[in-house]
Structure 1
Amino acid sequence: MLTRRHLIAGLACGAALPIGIRSARAAAPFKQPPLPYAEDALAPTISGRTVNLHYGKHHASYFKTLNELVPGTRYADMTLEEVVKASRSSEADRKIFNNAGQAWNHIFYWEQFKPGGAKAPAGALKEAIERDFGSVDEFKTKMVAAAGGVFGSGWAWLSEDGGKLVLSGTPGGDSPFAGGKKTLLGVDVWEHAYYIDYENRRTEHVKAVLDNIVNWDVVAERMA
């Protein structure tokens, strides 16, 4: 739900707008939103060097490639979200989907981290997690396991399906959002997201992200 607080924040800084509002404002050419905080703001969980490369090189490259691919196609007048959903089932447009999906996934990813944000789930979100996973700690254990189970590069997700919270892992640039599900939280398990800081210790990285830098207020807003 778009609240007055979101509108005020959005007028002050485009990066503060919720994903469904900010990325829906314009079709191609797509523009990478500003990082919502300083590059070193997530350290030591994610170092400034990792953020510099991850946001400044990898995330930027998805926008650059997508903007080279969409002119003259049926996707040229779509929003980023529409491109992700419309291209997912087209094998001929797999390259467009991969880059659109990764562009969207990373906007969603950067938004959910905020220095000083809520450090633990509360309210309706906490109740839903306890209902569907037993406890917050058990949820984290299961999400770390889901991330460890992704073969190769991909993502681990918390989403809502049929009124129930579920965990999943997806390869490449896919996501529950692309398949039409309400997506609440995503952790990037591509090597560029963690290898500088954690080398091959993927699950250690995911646990640190869940314990230290997720802004659970954002996750709660997504669920609401």
Structure 2
Amino acid sequence: MSNVEELAARPLKPALLELAGISRVSVEAHYRLYQGYVAKRNEIVGKLAEVDRSAANQVYSDLRALKVDLTFAIGGVKNHEVYFEHLGGPGGDPTGAFRALVERDFGSVDAWRADLTATGLAARGWAWTAYDWDEGRLLNLLGDAQNTFPVWNATPLVALDVYEHAYFIDYQTDRAAYIDAFFENLDWGVVNGWVAAYGVPS
């Protein structure tokens, strides 16, 4: 992996510092966590360039430890980049192509929101609305850690971080109130842009 370039953290959008119900202090702390995932990804990639591959072992080896932790760091980067990118909007109900997908696959916006909220309350780390390319539909999926991605061949379109670091400063243990605030800050223009860019069929 010696030819893999270092990543740079994406800049924090100014709109994220003025969210409704999610404080600037919380967002800035959360963003620093994301920067830490980027730094660790780069550090691990550097160590993999020098690791002894002849000592690889499934019980324990430096290669195994680095490879497992790389998935966690990369997950932390990718999940947070989706999360931060689609916040900073007017929130409310979905619009456009994404709304049409929601109504088709969940029956109504209310049913989709209720299911994603319940998924977020049940998860230990993340809840996503992702388009499953094999099933040809949206699914609300749960992940307990940064490296439990939605599923293979599914594209996240909404990423709800429910680790305590996302809400504890503002809501302590009231995760449900934080989830409500999350919905009120989504930018449906960004989400619909992804639907178009990925060619998600309606």
Specify if TM > 0.5. yes
Match of 2:29 in 1: 53
Instruction: Tell me what 2:58 maps to.
Output: none
Question: Is 1:189–2:162 an aligned residue pair?
Answer: yes
Q: Work out whether residues 113 and 214 of structure 1, in 8 Å CA contact, stay in contact via their aligned partners in 2.
A: yes
Match runs of 1:109-148 below 5 Å: 109-116=83-90, 119-148=92-121
| Residues 130-186 of structure 1: CA deviation (Å, up to 9, x unaligned) | 121121112111100001111x3x101000112211001101113227x33121110
* TM-score normalized with structure 1 length: 0.72
Name the residue aligned to 2:150: 176
Q: Does the CA-based 8 Å contact 1:119-1:215 persist in structure 2? A: no
Partner of residue 200 from structure 1, selected from 173, 178, 183: 173
| Secondary structure in 2 matching 1:120 | coil
Provide the C-alpha distance between the structure 2 equivalents of 1:216 and 1:36, rounded to a whole number of angstroms.
Answer: 16
> Per the alignment, do residues 138 and 41 of structure 1 end up closer, same or farther by CA in structure 2, a change over 3 Å counting?
same
TM normalised by structure 2 equals 0.80
Runs of 4+, deviation exceeding 3 Å: none
Provide the residue aligned with 2:191 in structure 1: 219
Q: Give the CA deviation at 1:63.
A: 1.2
Partner of residue 78, structure 1: none
Amino acid of the structure 1 residue aligned with 2:128: W
| Aligned twin of 2:72 | 98
Instruction: Give the drift of 1:222.
Output: 1.5
1:72 to 1:91, Cα distance in 2 relative to 1, 3 A:
closer
Find 1:158's aligned residue among 120, 129, 134.
Answer: 129
Contact 2:142 2:150 in 1 (8 A): no
> Measured at CA, do residues 48 and 122 of structure 1 come closer, stay the same or move farther in structure 2, by a change above 3 Å?
same
CA contact (8 A) 1:129 1:139 kept: yes
Q: Which runs of 5+ in 1 are unaligned?
A: 1-25, 75-89
- What amino acid is aligned across from residue 27 of structure 2 in structure 1? V
Question: Is contact 2:15-2:88 (8 Å) kept?
Answer: no
Select the structure with the greater relative contact order (CA < 8 A; seq sep ≥ 6).
2
Deviation of the 1:39 alpha carbon: 5.0
Aligned counterpart in structure 2 of residue 62 of structure 1, from 19, 37, 42: 37
- Note closer, same or farther for the CA distance 1:205–1:133 as it changes in structure 2 (3 Å cut): same
In 1, Cα distance between the equivalents of 2:36 and 2:144?
Answer: 18
1:82 aligned partner: none
Q: How far, CA to CA, are the matches of 1:64 and 1:120 in structure 2? A: 35
Structure 1 stretch 121-130 or stretch 97-106: which is displaced more?
A: 121-130
Report the 3-state secondary structure (helix = DSSP H, G, I; strand = E; otherwise coil) of the residue aligned with 2:7.
coil
Q: Unmatched 5+ residue regions in structure 2? A: 50-62, 197-202
Q: Deviations over 1:14-36 (max 9, x none)?
A: xxxxxxxxxxxx95211101012
After superposition, where does 1:14-53 map in structure 2 within 5 Å? 27-42=4-19, 44-53=20-29
Residue 16 of structure 2 contacts residue 88 of structure 2 at CA under 8 Å; is this kept in 1? no
Q: Give the RMSD, CA atoms, in angstroms.
A: 2.1
